[in-house]
Amino acid sequence: MRISWVAVYVLWLREMKRFVRAKSRIVGAVAMPLFFLLFLGMGFSRMAVPGLGRQVNYILFLVPGILGMGLLFSSTFGGLSVLWDREFGFLKEIMVAPVSRLSIVIGRIAGGTTTGMIQGILILGVAFILGFKVPSLAALLLGLLLMVLIATTFLGLGLIFASKMKDMQGFSIVMNFVIFPLFFLSGALYPLNNFPAWVRWISYADPLTFGVDGLRAVWLRTSSMSLLADFGAMIFFSALMLALGAYFFEKSESV
């Protein structure tokens, strides 16, 4: 199936313009993670968190988790744009255009991943102001690669749900029921080893678990699993979610 890179670029550019023009979206993407980081970080900074160890400051430990949360929310709700386009007829227009649906899927994924990364980098910038430091340039690049994998994974998940639903309000409600268990099971707020064994096994089915743990391994030199296992799991989940998202999008109705 031939890919039209012009169509990919046009859909990517459209998503960029929508993102830049929605100033409230940018502010909201940074504000909520910042509140979590400040209030949770300050509230628990003087407490001994079990399993954390004295050598790791809780605020610094929290940064990869909050970054993962921001990518989770922004990427998953990227599927809302599909419902928005279906509501106002734009989806029907691009579906009947003389380009492959694969080109449309790639364009949407590229746009959603880019906006998710912009929001993630903004959160990381705020963390730098609060004193977070990255050990080296190589560690920064590895962390950014993990962020891309997290964003694409949950963009694919959002695309799956958006392709099967037609109601924007229903999508938001359902995704909240999906997102919050994924967030709390990931160990974003506390060490993964503090979970009971049976909950920990469930958390291994959560892609965000490996994304957050990988960020901590790269930036803080502390993790529950090996960096190789984290990267391998994220590559697998990213490929799986994108394949499923593309499949369901191609099978979805435009009206």
What is the full per-residue pLDDT of the chain (255 aa) written as tens digits? Answer: 577 777 788 888 888 888 877 777 677 767 777 777 777 766 666 655 555 655 667 778 888 888 998 888 888 877 777 777 776 666 677 766 677 777 777 888 888 888 888 888 888 888 888 778 888 899 999 999 999 999 999 988 888 888 777 777 777 787 888 888 898 898 888 888 888 888 889 999 999 999 999 999 999 888 888 899 999 999 999 999 888 887 887 776 554
Total structural domains in the chain?
1
Give 58's contacts (C-beta < 8 A, 6+ positions apart).
41, 44, 45, 47, 49, 52
**Contact predicate 39/59, CB 8 Å:** no
Taking alpha carbons only, the member of 91, 250, 255, 76 closest to residue 172 is 76
Closest to 108 (Cα-Cα) out of 250, 255, 253, 251: 250
Per DSSP, which regions of the chain are E strands? none
Structure pTM?
0.87
Question: Which range marks the domain in which residue 61 is found?
Answer: 5-251
What is the distance between the alpha carbons of residues 72 and 74, in angstroms, rounded to a whole number? Answer: 6
